[in-house]
Amino acid sequence: MYKLYYNEKPIPDFVIITKIEEPLIGDITNTVISSNYGSKYKKTEFGTKIVKVYCTVKKGFKMLMDINKITELNEWLKGDNWKATKLVLPGRDYYYEAIVNNAPDLEPNNYTANFEIDFLILNPDRINLVEYESSNMKINYMGTSEEVYPTIILKVTNACSELKLSVSNSKYNNYIRLKHNFLTDDEIIIDMKTKKITVNNIVKMQILTLDSRFHKLAKGENIYTLNTGNADVKIKYRNRYI
């Protein structure tokens, strides 16, 4: 049976999902201006997207709706401590970044425990569950969202004092340059989303030169080149869809 996962944890066993409402897109506000001939389109604003999950308590558990069960559900609803949390709906091959926006007010010995959980989708993109990892220096990004931040992994093959990795796509033509006494087998991870750089799991932002620029993947071809240094390169990313 399919499960709903939040923060990598399934919804508690005593909860049964009866229905899920997942809008294709969030609220839309179209702004128009008056003219001598009808109205003219000005702009579109995308608002809140809410996923509604309707639930009931599993048969046989209604008599057991004690404080322990309520505490278990409340802990699950916190996700990643009320921060943006991975939400995987049943049967989907993608996930959302979400937080709980509305939760049930359950009480011990509540025998009519039908309730609703609302998830506020913080990023409207549907993010593929599969994370791609490629050693190919040409990435053909197939998603439709422009908010794709890759993670770059550099494995030093011979000691060097500088690593320079350039990227070229339809939106960017820049590079990341790192200066440090790199040793063979050092592993450098560049997270384009958090803008964090680690060397052997230790944060070392000071090795980033001022002329460096972070980037996103663009739809179509993204070409990477190791201009300076000795390292194997891997690019990790997930396809994202609007």
CATH of the domain at 197: 2.60.120.860
Per-residue pLDDT, 1: 47
- For the record, the structure tokens of 109 come out as 């010995």
**Per-residue confidence of the chain (242 residues) as pLDDT tens digits?**
468 999 999 999 888 899 999 987 766 677 777 777 666 766 666 668 899 999 988 766 554 556 778 888 889 999 999 999 999 999 999 999 999 998 877 666 655 568 899 999 998 889 999 999 999 999 999 988 888 999 999 999 999 999 999 999 999 999 999 999 999 999 999 999 999 999 999 999 999 999 999 999 999 999 999 999 999 999 999 999 87
Mark whether 136 and 40 lie in a shared domain. no
Mark whether 93 and 159 lie in a shared domain. no
Residue 195 dihedral angles phi and psi, to the nearest 5°: 55, 40
Q: How many domains is the chain built from?
A: 2
- For the record, the structure tokens of 46 come out as 């995308």
Rounded Cα–Cα distance for residues 90 and 34 (Å): 45
Per-residue pLDDT, 28: 67
Mark whether 41 and 144 lie in a shared domain. no
Mark whether 121 and 153 lie in a shared domain. no
Mark whether 11 and 106 lie in a shared domain. yes
Mark whether 68 and 97 lie in a shared domain. yes
Q: Where is the domain boundary, 83, 106, 127?
A: 127
DSSP 74: H
Mark whether 148 and 166 lie in a shared domain. yes
Mark whether 13 and 112 lie in a shared domain. yes
For residue 60, what are the domain limits? 5-127
Structural contact between residues 123 and 193, judged by C-beta atoms closer than 8 angstroms: no
Q: Where is the domain boundary, 127, 148, 182?
A: 127
Rounded Cα–Cα distance for residues 122 and 220 (Å): 26
Beta bridge partners of 88: 5
Rounded Cα–Cα distance for residues 188 and 208 (Å): 12
CATH number for the domain spanning 118: value is 2.40.30.200
Mark whether 111 and 32 lie in a shared domain. yes
Mark whether 108 and 144 lie in a shared domain. no
Mark whether 20 and 111 lie in a shared domain. yes
- For the record, the structure tokens of 237 come out as 């990313």
| Residue at token pair 């005593």 | 14
Per-residue pLDDT, 209: 97
Structural contact between residues 166 and 174, judged by C-beta atoms closer than 8 angstroms: yes
Burial label, 9 (beta-carbon count in 10 A; 0-12, 13-18, 19+):
middle
Q: Where is the domain boundary, 73, 94, 127?
A: 127
Mark whether 61 and 113 lie in a shared domain. yes
**Helices and strands (DSSP H and E) totals, the chain:** 1, 20
